């Protein structure tokens, strides 16, 4: 397989407070070429800290861990890394635990003891979801950047020709919707509001300018 076609392994974090489970899970994944174990945690809080450092694609989390359980740990991780996926591993084989795992966004639920086949297949299914989600996110990001580039092109043209019509107003308002909008476009929008005597919108924009640049 050529380097260009070589698949990148999924970065995996394992978190369990039982040493034997951590060791067995790592050994089960050792021969999987699509897995790169980047961190192993002893409890939920450590898992969150290691996730911040190593940015895993997939987290294998036990439910019952000290300091922070698996559900709490995943919610904390997911806030930081929205595209990260989770496999809950648990000794609890009941509907309530399964529903709780799904409610926090877990993609798979494995009941201990699980086999090598079950673990690797769960990781593959979750990995496929991660890949699809990231591809969709990349497409959305490219489209967003293309739209911003187009709006900026229009903004330069409309500013140069001093347009004050509805179409120009819409362009500058769309640029202003971005919290990181450049000051010059906010100033241009403020001038448009003055020209059009839209005092309410001008007041709102003035408050934003004062907070952001005052």
Query: Cis link prior to 214 (omega < 30° from 0)?
Result: no
Q: Cα–Cα distance between 156 and 88 in angstroms, integer?
A: 51
Write down which residue in 138, 155, 173 finishes a domain: 138
Paired strand residues for 36: 11
- Whether residue 158 is found in the same domain as residue 125: no
Task: Report which of 115, 66, 67 is spatially closest to residue 89, judged by C-alpha positions.
Answer: 115
Output the CA angle 190-194-196, nearest 5 degrees. 115
- Whether residue 164 is found in the same domain as residue 120: no
For residue 58, tell me if it sits in a domain. yes
Write down which residue in 112, 138, 164 finishes a domain: 138
Q: Which domain holds residue 37?
A: 10-138
The residues, ordered by sequence, that sit 6+ positions from 114 with a Cβ below 8 Å of its Cβ are 89
- Whether residue 110 is found in the same domain as residue 59: yes
φ, ψ for residue 29, nearest 5 deg? -95, -5
- pLDDT at residue 12, as a whole number: 96
- Whether residue 134 is found in the same domain as residue 152: no
- Whether residue 112 is found in the same domain as residue 149: no
- Whether residue 64 is found in the same domain as residue 91: yes
- Whether residue 40 is found in the same domain as residue 54: yes
Task: Report which of 60, 108, 53 is spatially closest to residue 81, judged by C-alpha positions.
Answer: 53
- Whether residue 115 is found in the same domain as residue 161: no
For residue 1, tell me if it sits in a domain. no
Is the pTM higher than 0.75? The answer reads no
For residue 95, tell me if it sits in a domain. yes
For residue 67, tell me if it sits in a domain. yes
* CA distance between the termini of the chain: 57
For residue 3, tell me if it sits in a domain. no
Q: For residue 72, give the CATH number of its domain.
A: 3.40.50.2300
Task: Report which of 160, 70, 157, 163 is spatially closest to residue 108, judged by C-alpha positions.
Answer: 70
- Whether residue 148 is found in the same domain as residue 118: no
CB atoms closer than 10 angstroms to residue 159: 16
Residue tagged 């450590």 (tokens): 46
- Whether residue 133 is found in the same domain as residue 27: yes
CB atoms closer than 10 angstroms to residue 175: 19
For residue 5, tell me if it sits in a domain. no
Write down which residue in 114, 138, 162 finishes a domain: 138
Total of domains in the chain: 2
- Whether residue 29 is found in the same domain as residue 132: yes
For residue 178, tell me if it sits in a domain. yes
Per-residue pLDDT 10s for the chain (214 aa) are 444 445 789 999 999 999 999 999 999 999 999 999 999 999 999 999 999 999 999 999 999 998 899 999 999 999 998 889 999 998 888 888 889 889 888 899 999 989 999 999 999 999 888 888 777 777 888 898 899 999 999 999 999 999 999 999 999 999 999 988 999 999 999 999 999 999 999 999 999 998 888 6
- Whether residue 104 is found in the same domain as residue 146: no
For residue 68, tell me if it sits in a domain. yes
């Amino acid at each position: 397989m050529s380097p260009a076609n070589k698949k990148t392994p999924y970065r995996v974090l394992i978190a369990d407070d039982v040493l034997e489970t951590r060791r067995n899970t790592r050994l089960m994944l050792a021969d999987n070429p699509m897995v790169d174990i980047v961190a192993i945690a002893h409890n939920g809080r450590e898992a969150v800290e290691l996730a911040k450092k190593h940015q895993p694609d997939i987290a294998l989390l036990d439910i019952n861990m000290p300091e922070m359980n698996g559900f709490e740990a995943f919610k904390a991780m997911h806030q930081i890394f929205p595209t990260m996926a989770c496999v809950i591993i648990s000794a609890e084989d009941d509907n309530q635990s399964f529903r709780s795992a799904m409610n926090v966004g877990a993609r798979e639920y494995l009941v201990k003891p699980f086999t090598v086949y079950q673990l690797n297949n769960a990781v593959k299914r979750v990995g496929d979801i991660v890949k699809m989600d990231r591809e969709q996110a990349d497409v959305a990001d490219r489209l967003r950047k293309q739209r911003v580039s187009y709006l900026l092109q229009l903004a330069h043209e409309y500013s140069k020709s001093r347009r004050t019509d509805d179409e120009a107003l819409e362009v500058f308002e769309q640029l202003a919707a971005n919290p990181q909008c450049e000051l010059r476009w906010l100033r241009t929008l403020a001038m448009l509001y003055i020209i059009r005597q839209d005092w309410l919108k001008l007041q709102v924009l003035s408050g934003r300018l004062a907070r952001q640049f005052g």
